[in-house]
A and B are shown apart, each in its own frame.
Chain A
Amino acid sequence: MKGILKIAFKLLVNDKGKFAALLIGITFAVFLMVMMTSMFAGILHRSSATVLNVGAKIWVMDPAVNTPANSIPMPDYVLDAVRSIDGTKYAMPLYSGGALVKLRSGVYQSVTVMGIDDSTLFGRPALIEGKIEDIYAENAFVVVKDAEFRKLGNPMVGTDFELNDHRGVIVGIAKVSSSGLFGVPTLYTTYKRALQYIPSSRFTTAFILVEPKNSAAIPYIKEQVKALGYVALTKDEFIQKTSDFYKYQTGVGTNLLIMTVISFIVGLSISGQTFYTFILENLEKFGALKAIGAKGRELVYMILFQATFTSLTGYGLGIGLASLLINVARLRLPSYAAMITYSNLGFAFVMVLIIAGISSYIGVRKVLKIEPFDIFRG
């Protein structure tokens, strides 16, 4: 069988023009599909950046909240009520709001300010420079060193800025697991200072972060929070809710899905058409092989091998090209959101197998129909 597959391999790769066209078709399709799905995955991941970075197990919020970025402030009594639920180990408020800072250079820059509980600093990021206790110092802020960090002029510990006529000083530089979606730098400070610096509405608590006594207590906490007219979501549920919002309630999911389908159709058309032409051009040769003594199934193996080899090579090239482009783009645009996940790779792989399957099905039908007698008839 190896020898027959080697014949198939040589017939394929020695027809350089057709082989190149097949590879380009599949590579292009895989590249587009991976780029589309990677951008989507990146957007979804970054849309949940706050949830991932803060790391609380349960988030209490207004039922109308869809993402961490559009919080609806809750009255203070909700915090007390949540703390009093049996099963709650502790619960802390989290402030999340937007502000405009004026840098030393005179440049204005939008930022997200996270206000964490003064007494426990629950939800604080890990520092790579400075000490977390310094957050209690006058005008103190911790800046997150993510893709947006340079927009604040690459601040160092001691760098100061202006925020709503208040002086702010960087006392620490933190790292987080994920950058935000909206291209805005993030500052952490204490909850009280955040309220003091940023004009607030009547209610101020954006989210309540809850640590349950144990996982068995979670359903009860959710039930009690629901009775208060609010909603308690686990970390995973909040990430899922955010993801669902972007997928189904914005045009992002639909548009990317359409682009992915178009990529698939383009890839299928190019490679299917080229493979069909390749089979047609070699049809007499397959007929001659049949006349010489090749069995029908051996010809099927040859075609399947050719389709699979082309598809997998195109798949590898497409993935490589997408990775290269994403990495090159990140060099220029640190906040570039595309992210290749195993799901993306799996999805593209399945799509490529479908392309290979359809292309080879067309070829197999043709080859099985050819009669060696047609070779004699000419």
Chain B
Amino acid sequence: MAELAMRATELVKWFGEGDAKTVAVQGVSFDAFFGEMLFIEGPSGSGKTTLLSLISGILRPNSGTVSVAGKNIWDMTSDQLADFRLNTVGFVFQDYHLFPRLTTVENVAIPLILKRLDWNKSVEDAMQYLEIVGIKDRALLPPVKLSGGEQQRVAIARAIASRPDILIFDEPTASLDGDTGRRIIDFVKKNILNDQRCIIIVTHDSRIFEFADRIIKMEDGRIICFEQGGGHEE
């Protein structure tokens, strides 16, 4: 039995009040385990992104808990939450959100710099992560000079630079062609996922479902079913 990485319990989140009230997530509970690649899938507006924000310490739920290492993250202060995001969670945003005015390696070094590491040491370490994702030779270029797939790899390198336990991908293949998207997820599964790390991917791209260990299907803010993915190994 794999070790529990995160437990979400009865998460509820709504926006607005009165007639304008919209319930985005209602009573969602699930566990995520180390060594697992967990997909959250559903149509647009089903609450995937809101759920992602709730479990990563970005958006406070109206009720429910998110436990990581036995502690409810929503009992933390805002500074503790920032530290939690920095040390425990790695994000790969849909639009990557790389800094065009910094070089590729400096982009990757950002989490290390936020951890108060010396600039030169951070850049030196960031080079190793660029090597892992296979674009070390692009280190000194600005991200705008890279292809979409390469930018995705930079975003992955930045996300793993702080050695997070939980890695969160938001629509990782949305800006990539089918082949590149598959290659990226395959690469992540083979090189980034390990027994000390859990990867949660929000997507509605069925072409990559084959890499999932489990798939959570959402609709109207609720989990409608759990499925075994194509990557599940008994």
- Residues on A lying within 8 angstroms of B by beta carbon are 1-4, 6-7, 10-11, 14-15, 284-285, 287-296, 298, 371-373, 375-378
Residues of chain A within 8 A (CB-CB) of B87 are 293
Answer whether residue B187 sits at the interface, using C-beta atoms and an 8 A cutoff. Answer: no
Cα distance A296–B56 in the bound complex, in angstroms: 17
B110 within 8 A of partner (CB): yes
Knowing A291-B85, A293-B86, A293-B111, say if A6 contacts B58 (CB, 8 Å): no
**B102 neighbours in A (Cβ, 8 Å):** 7, 10-11, 14
Interchain CB contact under 8 A, A376 and B110 = no
CB of B31 within 8 Å of the partner chain: no
Q: Given contacts A373-B53, A376-B58, is CB(A3)–CB(B122) below 8 Å?
A: yes
Q: Are the CB atoms of B110 and A289 closer together than 8 Å?
A: yes
Sample of 13 further A-B pairs with CB below 8 A, known A293-B162, A371-B59: A3-B117, A3-B122, A7-B106, A10-B102, A284-B95, A287-B97, A288-B97, A292-B85, A292-B114, A293-B82, A294-B86, A295-B78, A295-B79
The interface residues of chain B lying within 8 Å CB-to-CB of A1 are: 116
In the bound complex, what is the Cα–Cα distance between A296 and B50 (angstroms)? 22
Q: Which of B87, B111, B113 is the most central at the interface, judged by chain A CB atoms within 10 Å of its CB?
A: B113
Residues of B within 8 A of A376 (CB): 49, 52-53, 58, 93-94, 170
Question: Can you list 24 A-B contacts (CB < 8 A)?
Answer: A3-B113, A3-B117, A3-B118, A3-B122, A4-B114, A7-B102, A7-B110, A11-B99, A11-B101, A14-B101, A15-B101, A284-B95, A288-B97, A291-B85, A292-B110, A292-B111, A292-B158, A294-B86, A295-B79, A373-B50, A373-B58, A376-B52, A376-B93, A376-B94
The answer to whether A293 and B49 have CB atoms under 8 Å apart is no
Residue of B nearest to A294 (CB): B114
Number of interface residues of B (CB under 8 A): 36
How close is B32's CB to chain A, nearest CB, in angstroms? Answer: 18
Q: How far is the CA of A14 from the CA of B103 in the complex (A)?
A: 10
Query: A378 CA to B95 CA in the complex, in Å?
Result: 8
Question: What residues on A are CB-neighbors of B95 within 8 Å?
Answer: 284, 378
Neighbouring A residues of B84 by C-beta, 8 Å: 293
Interface centre among B50, B56, B110, B158 (most CB of A within 10 A): B110
A220 to B10: give the CA distance in the assembly, Å: 91
CA distance A2 to B118 in the complex (A): 8
The winner among B52, B79, B82, B162 for most chain A CB atoms within 10 A is: B82
Q: Which residues of chain A come closer than 8 Å to B82, judged between CB atoms?
A: 290, 293-295
- Check A10–B101 contact: CB distance below 8 A: yes
Given contacts A3-B117, A11-B102, A292-B114, contact A377 B49 (CB under 8 A): yes
Whose C-beta in chain B lies nearest to the C-beta of A4? Answer: B113
A107 vs chain B, min Cβ distance (A): 64
Among B79, B85, B158, the one with the most A-chain Cβ atoms within 10 Å of its Cβ is B85
Q: Does B83 contact A (CB under 8 A)?
A: yes
Cβ-closest chain B residue relative to A297: B79
> CB of B226 within 8 A of chain A?
no
A288 to B118, alpha carbons, bound, how many Å? Answer: 21
Contact of B119 with A by CB under 8 A = yes
Select which of A6, A288, A372 is within 8 A of B119 by beta carbon. Answer: A6
Contact with A along B102-126 (1 / 0, CB 8 A): 1000100011011011110010000
